Protein backbone atom coordinates (compact mmCIF):
# COMPACT_ATOMS: atom_id res chain seq x y z
CA UNK A 1 0.00 0.00 0.00
CA UNK A 2 1.36 3.40 -0.99
CA UNK A 3 1.00 6.26 1.47
CA UNK A 4 1.12 9.79 0.16
CA UNK A 5 2.37 12.65 2.25
CA UNK A 6 -0.28 14.89 3.74
CA UNK A 7 -0.14 18.65 3.35
CA UNK A 8 -0.70 20.38 6.70
CA UNK A 9 -2.35 23.81 6.77
CA UNK A 10 -3.31 25.89 9.78
CA UNK A 11 -6.44 27.92 10.33
CA UNK A 12 -6.52 30.46 13.15
CA UNK A 13 -9.61 30.36 15.36
CA UNK A 14 -11.22 33.79 15.45
CA UNK A 15 -13.92 35.21 17.71
CA UNK A 16 -17.39 34.82 16.22
CA UNK A 17 -19.17 38.03 15.29
CA UNK A 18 -22.37 38.52 13.33
CA UNK A 19 -20.55 40.15 10.41
CA UNK A 20 -17.71 37.62 10.23
CA UNK A 21 -20.11 34.66 10.42
CA UNK A 22 -22.64 36.05 7.88
CA UNK A 23 -21.25 34.20 4.80
CA UNK A 24 -21.93 30.87 6.58
CA UNK A 25 -25.20 31.54 8.39
CA UNK A 26 -26.41 33.50 11.37
CA UNK A 27 -24.78 34.01 14.74
CA UNK A 28 -27.69 33.86 17.18
CA UNK A 29 -27.17 36.73 19.60
CA UNK A 30 -29.42 39.59 20.71
CA UNK A 31 -29.80 42.11 17.93
CA UNK A 32 -31.56 42.54 14.62
CA UNK A 33 -35.32 42.40 14.24
CA UNK A 34 -36.95 42.95 17.62
CA UNK A 35 -39.95 41.16 18.98
CA UNK A 36 -42.28 42.46 21.63
CA UNK A 37 -41.09 43.18 25.14
CA UNK A 38 -43.23 41.33 27.64
CA UNK A 39 -43.77 41.71 31.38
CA UNK A 40 -42.66 45.31 31.45
CA UNK A 41 -39.49 44.61 29.45
CA UNK A 42 -38.42 41.67 31.67
CA UNK A 43 -38.63 39.37 28.61
CA UNK A 44 -36.98 40.88 25.53
CA UNK A 45 -36.99 38.97 22.25
CA UNK A 46 -35.38 39.08 18.81
CA UNK A 47 -36.01 37.14 15.59
CA UNK A 48 -32.51 36.40 14.24
CA UNK A 49 -33.33 33.77 11.59
CA UNK A 50 -35.71 31.14 10.29
CA UNK A 51 -35.19 27.40 10.50
CA UNK A 52 -35.64 25.81 7.09
CA UNK A 53 -36.24 22.18 6.19
CA UNK A 54 -37.85 20.19 3.41
CA UNK A 55 -39.12 17.72 6.05
CA UNK A 56 -39.71 17.46 9.79
CA UNK A 57 -37.25 19.07 12.17
CA UNK A 58 -35.81 17.29 15.18
CA UNK A 59 -33.90 18.28 18.29
CA UNK A 60 -30.76 16.26 19.03
CA UNK A 61 -29.04 16.56 22.41
CA UNK A 62 -25.30 15.94 22.05
CA UNK A 63 -22.67 15.47 24.75
CA UNK A 64 -19.33 16.66 23.40
CA UNK A 65 -15.93 15.28 24.20
CA UNK A 66 -12.76 17.26 23.59
CA UNK A 67 -11.22 15.90 20.39
CA UNK A 68 -8.10 16.75 18.45
CA UNK A 69 -8.34 20.20 16.89
CA UNK A 70 -7.77 18.84 13.40
CA UNK A 71 -10.35 19.05 10.63
CA UNK A 72 -11.03 15.50 9.39
CA UNK A 73 -14.06 16.00 7.18
CA UNK A 74 -16.25 18.74 5.87
CA UNK A 75 -19.93 18.11 5.25
CA UNK A 76 -22.94 20.02 4.01
CA UNK A 77 -26.71 19.70 3.68
CA UNK A 78 -28.96 21.22 1.02
CA UNK A 79 -32.40 20.26 2.36
CA UNK A 80 -32.19 22.14 5.66
CA UNK A 81 -30.47 24.73 7.79
CA UNK A 82 -28.72 23.38 10.86
CA UNK A 83 -28.59 25.04 14.27
CA UNK A 84 -26.07 24.37 17.06
CA UNK A 85 -26.89 25.74 20.52
CA UNK A 86 -24.32 25.33 23.32
CA UNK A 87 -25.98 24.59 26.67
CA UNK A 88 -24.64 25.39 30.12
CA UNK A 89 -22.56 28.34 28.98
CA UNK A 90 -19.78 26.28 27.37
CA UNK A 91 -18.21 27.72 24.21
CA UNK A 92 -17.75 25.68 21.03
CA UNK A 93 -15.54 25.90 17.95
CA UNK A 94 -17.19 25.88 14.52
CA UNK A 95 -15.25 25.19 11.34
CA UNK A 96 -17.05 26.35 8.20
CA UNK A 97 -16.69 27.21 4.52
CA UNK A 98 -19.17 29.09 2.34
CA UNK A 99 -21.66 27.03 0.31
CA UNK A 100 -20.03 28.38 -2.89
CA UNK A 101 -16.44 27.88 -1.63
CA UNK A 102 -13.80 27.21 -4.26
CA UNK A 103 -13.02 23.49 -4.22
CA UNK A 104 -9.60 21.87 -4.36
CA UNK A 105 -9.76 18.17 -5.28
CA UNK A 106 -13.39 18.01 -4.21
CA UNK A 107 -13.11 19.74 -0.83
CA UNK A 108 -13.12 23.44 0.08
CA UNK A 109 -9.70 24.96 -0.59
CA UNK A 110 -7.78 25.62 2.66
CA UNK A 111 -8.03 29.41 2.26
CA UNK A 112 -11.85 29.06 2.16
CA UNK A 113 -12.00 27.36 5.58
CA UNK A 114 -12.65 29.51 8.66
CA UNK A 115 -12.83 28.61 12.35
CA UNK A 116 -14.86 30.52 14.93
CA UNK A 117 -15.01 30.52 18.71
CA UNK A 118 -18.73 30.68 19.50
CA UNK A 119 -19.30 31.85 23.08
CA UNK A 120 -21.54 29.77 25.32
CA UNK A 121 -24.20 32.49 25.36
CA UNK A 122 -24.60 32.43 21.56
CA UNK A 123 -25.50 29.84 18.92
CA UNK A 124 -25.20 29.41 15.14
CA UNK A 125 -27.64 28.62 12.38
CA UNK A 126 -25.82 27.36 9.27
CA UNK A 127 -27.24 28.27 5.88
CA UNK A 128 -28.20 25.47 3.51
CA UNK A 129 -25.08 24.13 1.80
CA UNK A 130 -22.57 25.58 4.30
CA UNK A 131 -19.59 23.26 4.63
CA UNK A 132 -18.83 22.42 8.26
CA UNK A 133 -17.22 20.02 10.68
CA UNK A 134 -19.44 19.07 13.63
CA UNK A 135 -18.83 21.46 16.54
CA UNK A 136 -15.74 20.99 18.67
CA UNK A 137 -16.27 20.89 22.42
CA UNK A 138 -13.76 22.73 24.60
CA UNK A 139 -14.84 21.11 27.87
CA UNK A 140 -15.29 17.37 28.29
CA UNK A 141 -18.97 16.48 28.61
CA UNK A 142 -20.39 19.84 27.53
CA UNK A 143 -23.90 19.73 26.12
CA UNK A 144 -25.08 20.97 22.75
CA UNK A 145 -28.53 21.09 21.22
CA UNK A 146 -28.62 20.53 17.45
CA UNK A 147 -31.71 21.23 15.37
CA UNK A 148 -31.91 19.78 11.88
CA UNK A 149 -34.09 17.81 9.51
CA UNK A 150 -35.13 14.43 10.90
CA UNK A 151 -33.15 11.55 9.45
CA UNK A 152 -34.76 8.13 8.94
CA UNK A 153 -34.77 5.99 12.10
CA UNK A 154 -34.02 2.81 10.15
CA UNK A 155 -30.80 3.74 8.33
CA UNK A 156 -28.15 1.01 8.77
CA UNK A 157 -24.66 1.91 10.02
CA UNK A 158 -22.29 2.80 7.22
CA UNK A 159 -25.06 3.80 4.82
CA UNK A 160 -24.96 7.51 3.98
CA UNK A 161 -27.81 9.57 5.36
CA UNK A 162 -29.99 11.38 2.87
CA UNK A 163 -28.73 14.87 2.10
CA UNK A 164 -25.34 14.35 3.73
CA UNK A 165 -22.43 15.34 1.51
CA UNK A 166 -19.47 14.42 3.75
CA UNK A 167 -15.92 14.50 2.36
CA UNK A 168 -12.60 13.46 3.89
CA UNK A 169 -9.87 16.08 3.43
CA UNK A 170 -7.05 13.52 3.70
CA UNK A 171 -8.56 11.01 1.27
CA UNK A 172 -9.64 13.50 -1.37
CA UNK A 173 -6.96 16.17 -1.19
CA UNK A 174 -4.14 14.75 0.96
CA UNK A 175 -4.85 17.62 3.32
CA UNK A 176 -4.83 18.11 7.09
CA UNK A 177 -6.10 21.33 8.63
CA UNK A 178 -4.96 22.07 12.17
CA UNK A 179 -6.77 24.67 14.21
CA UNK A 180 -4.65 27.37 15.86
CA UNK A 181 -6.34 28.16 19.14
CA UNK A 182 -6.00 31.57 20.78
CA UNK A 183 -3.71 31.80 23.81
CA UNK A 184 -5.37 30.59 26.97
CA UNK A 185 -7.87 28.35 25.17
CA UNK A 186 -7.39 24.67 26.02
Q: Does domain 7-150+162-180 bear CATH number 2.120.10.30?
A: no
Of 51 and 157, the one with more pLDDT: 51
pLDDT score for 174: 94
Strands 25-28 vs 123-126: parallel, antiparallel or unpaired: antiparallel
Q: Hey, where are the domains in the chain?
A: 7-150+162-180
79, HSE (Cβ side, Cα atoms, 13 Å): 13
In whole angstroms, what is the distance from residue 12 CA to residue 60 CA?
Answer: 29
Of 160 and 92, the one with more pLDDT: 92
Q: What is the pLDDT of residues 13-47, one digit of tens each?
A: 999 999 999 999 988 887 766 677 777 777 767 66
How many whole angstroms from its chain centre is CA 28? 13
pLDDT score for 1: 45
Ranges assigned E (strand) in the chain: 7-15, 25-28, 57-64, 70-71, 73-76, 82-87, 89-97, 103-104, 107-108, 114-120, 123-126, 131-137, 142-149, 165-168, 175-180
Q: What is the pLDDT of residues 120-163, one digit of tens each?
A: 999 999 999 999 999 999 999 999 999 988 776 655 565 556 67
Amino acid sequence: MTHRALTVRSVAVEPASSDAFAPFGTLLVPGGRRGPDNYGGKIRSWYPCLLEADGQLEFVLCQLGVREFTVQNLERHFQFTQTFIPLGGDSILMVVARPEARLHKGVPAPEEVRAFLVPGDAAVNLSRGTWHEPPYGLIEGSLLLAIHQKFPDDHPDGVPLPDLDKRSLAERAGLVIKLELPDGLT
